[in-house]
Amino acid sequence: MLNALKQHWPEYLMEAAELGIFMVSACAFGALLEYPGSPVHQALPDPSLRRVLMGAAMGLTAISIIYSPFGKRSGAHFNPSVTLTFWRLGKVAGADAFFYAIAQFIGAVIGVALPAVILRSALTHPSVNYVATLPGTRGVVVAFIAEVTITFILMTMVLNVSNRMNVARYTGLFAGAMVAIFISIEAPFSGMSMNPARTFGSAFVAQVWDALWIYFTAPPLGMLLAAEVYLRLKGARGVLCAKLHHHNHKRCIFKCGFGECAADVRTSNVEAVMTTP
């Protein structure tokens, strides 16, 4: 544990920063779109349209983080459920998974606490409520099922795209698009968390603990189920790495097979050229 902390602390700090930035963006756009005193809110009376715009904003935020220098190096998990899933898949060491999760929770709390100081009533107003993720009017059971479903879909996409050499570099774009779609469509059911640390950050600062168990159980369950299905279909060798973006020269601290696979592809391409009449 101590050795991992000494060697990989930059990646841990990056994970904290990534989720912190995501939460700052969520708070800022949440206040801009939902606070009744906001000119944007007043100009856009349709809540569905505001939700679509919120989805687009957070999708672009996710994409920016994944393709940022921090995201390229740490793997851009910024979600304990993602880290846990890649640990289950054998790509993240136990010590790294532990410190990643700790960093992600810390980053989420700081990412809400700082905007709370700056935005004040615009963030604390009940219509924004620290952008807390809470079950919708259909109740906790529907919220739980919805969270399991969207996390299953997200991780299924990540595994199928990130492990195909011809499209792996676009994993971040697919992930951002899914964030945007889920916020636009699924948010009324569960608040669209997919992330225990993201929910905890808002809950801790707001001191709103309603149905927290949903967001600590459903996202890991959905992603782990997706991993199990993928393993049965593709096998363990079908998982190359825990990074969402690997087409870069940043350090990789994971049990990575991406370089070996890339070398095999290059060799195959050379052989194909040499044998072509």
- pLDDT tens digit string along 76-119? 999 999 999 999 999 999 999 999 999 999 999 999 999 999 99
66 falls within a domain = yes
277 falls within a domain = no
Report the CATH number that the domain containing residue 26 is assigned in CATH. 1.20.1080.10
242 falls within a domain = yes
pLDDT confidence bin for 258, thresholds 50/70/90 = confident
Q: What is the pTM of this model?
A: 0.92
Domain extent, residue 22, equals: 2-267
At 34-92, the pLDDT tens digits run 999 999 999 999 999 999 999 999 999 999 999 999 999 999 999 999 999 999 999 99
End-to-end CA separation in angstroms for the chain: 55
At 139-197, the pLDDT tens digits run 999 999 999 999 999 999 999 999 999 999 999 999 999 999 999 999 999 999 999 99
**pLDDT of the residue at 267:** 36
218 falls within a domain = yes
196 falls within a domain = yes
274 falls within a domain = no
For the CA atoms of 71, 88, 79, 224, what is the dihedral angle to 10 degrees?
130
Can you list the pairs that 163-166 forms with residues at least 24 positions away whose Cβ atoms lie under 8 Å?
A: 163/234, 163/238, 163/239, 163/240, 165/261, 165/262, 165/265
Q: What is the mean pLDDT of the chain?
A: 93
In the chain, the number of structural domains is 1
Judged against a pLDDT cut of 60, whether residue 268 lies above it is answered with no
173 falls within a domain = yes
255 falls within a domain = yes
pLDDT confidence bin for 277, thresholds 50/70/90 = low
Render the burial of 167-189: b for 16+ CB within 10 Å, e for the rest: ebeebbbbbbbbbbbbbbbbbbb
Q: Which two three-digit tokens encode residue 134?
A: 């809470």
